[in-house]
Copies of this chain bind each other. A is one copy, B any other.
Amino acid sequence: MAKQTPRTLSGFMELLPAPQRQMERIMEILRETYSLYGFTPLDTPVIESSEVLLAKGGGETEKQIYRFQKGDADLSLRFDLTVPLAKYVALHYSDLTFPFRRFQIGKVYRGERAQRGRFREFYQADIDVIGDGKLSILNEAEIPAIIYRTFSALGLKRFRIRVNNRKILNGFYASLGLSDKAGDIMRTVDKLEKIGPEKVQTILTEDFAVSPEAAREIIGFISTGGGTEEVLSALESRRGPNETFDQGLDELKTVVRYLGAFGVPAENFNLDLTIARGLDYYTGTVYETVLLDHPEIGSVCSGGRYDNLAEYYTEKQLPGVGISIGLTRLFYVLGEQGMLNPELPTAPADVLILPMTEDLSAAIALATQLRDNGVRAQLHCEEKKFKQKISYADKLGIPYVIFLGEDEISAGVVACKDMATGEQTKLDAGATIYRIKAGLDARNKGFVIRE
């Protein structure tokens, strides 16, 4: 028979078993951490009606969307988890209780040009809090705590949560009479770090007809650096240009005020006036998260406060705040950087049982007992040489091998070998299980990411 060459589409991540286990661990940690903050898991369809998914219309994403006909239906694959959330909240509004806090970890699709480290199918891990009409600033203040706990639980230490408030930016540009150019200006000053202040000044004055004085003023303002207290007092000294600016400053001060109570250390946080995060959508606090030793990756967790989640579907005012982790890309980068801890077990089983008797009853009963006690056990009964079976455990990194022959069965013991140390014990089943579980606890102590 002619064979079809097996292949996986480029831009689609397909992991081998060991890295897949690492990915699963990361997802478990995200689910656990998000749950600690009262977010409920959600799952929405990958396919939506195109008119629903593209209600916002236009934009750069539209070209990238996987869109197709099936029968009479015009369908699209979701390209993020925010639009499906907006649809969900508008559709199920009367069945939901607000504030509505949900997390979702799911695949999204964008037909980007394929290149190394860019994916067409990728996981996003999102949380959002949606209010009905209003939403307390406390939800914005809580986001850094969630980011901090999540990244710490993954094993990261050297990261920084960078925070700004869009009201401060909008108020500031309004005070210069530049509200209508705010978008262009934000896009430009976003490049400050990369291209330097002179070039930013040139672009502002030449491309966007900002006066040289205003351009200098903007650069001076945006460059306000230093620790959290310094930035706040610099902003405080500018208080008063308009209500928007002052409200943004008050919000920012509330966010900063509760960092300690939320358990966020000062070194993992800073205020950064260059951050704007998209142009139309965000209206209050905005967030980015950078790995200090890998600034080239850019932000690994971003988001912000918005006023109107579902404006394309409902008249209801639904303000919210959310963040998103581009999980597939993050996982790829961590792997490239050698930051996935290879010491954490990735084996499919904790114990490999090698029966040495014709009758397998005793070996099977032992496997059943191990499983009853939460130990992942695999029986190896294939026609292979002893050496090959040991090599099987070795290749998969299975930490314990149990041999069960006539002698052990009649003596009521189990021969159990620790594959790392070579140490072998002959104990009864109960004591063996106890030893294995203690060993597994020790092996599973590390973090999934190491710096």
Contact = CB atoms under 8 A, between A and B. Distances in A.
Interface of A: 1, 3-9, 12-17, 20-21, 23-24, 35-49, 51-52, 55, 66, 68-71, 73, 75, 86-88, 90-92, 95-97, 99, 101-102, 107, 109, 111, 121, 131, 134-136, 138-139, 142, 145, 149, 257-258, 260-263, 310-315, 348-349, 352, 360-362, 364-365, 368, 371-372, 374-379, 381-383, 392, 395-396
User: How many subunits of this chain does the assembly comprise?
Assistant: 2
A149 B361 CA distance: 18
Contacts of A73: 9
A214 to B, nearest CB: 33
A36 B374 contact: yes
Contact of A314 (B3, B48, B131, B314): B3
B368 A262 contact: yes
Given A97-B396, A261-B365, 10 more contacts: A3-B315, A6-B90, A7-B91, A35-B348, A37-B377, A38-B376, A38-B377, A138-B381, A257-B361, A263-B368
A245 to B, nearest CB: 23
Contacts of A8: 44-45, 48, 87, 91
A96 B263 CA distance: 44
Nearest to A100: B17
Given A35-B376, A38-B349, A364-B261, A45 B314 contact: no
Contact of A40 (B20, B41, B90): B20
- 4 closest Cβ pairs, A-B complex: A38-B378, A68-B68, A38-B349, A40-B348
Given A46-B107, A121-B46, A395-B97, A52 B379 contact: no
Contact of A149 (B70, B95, B371, B376): B371
Contacts of A263: 368, 372
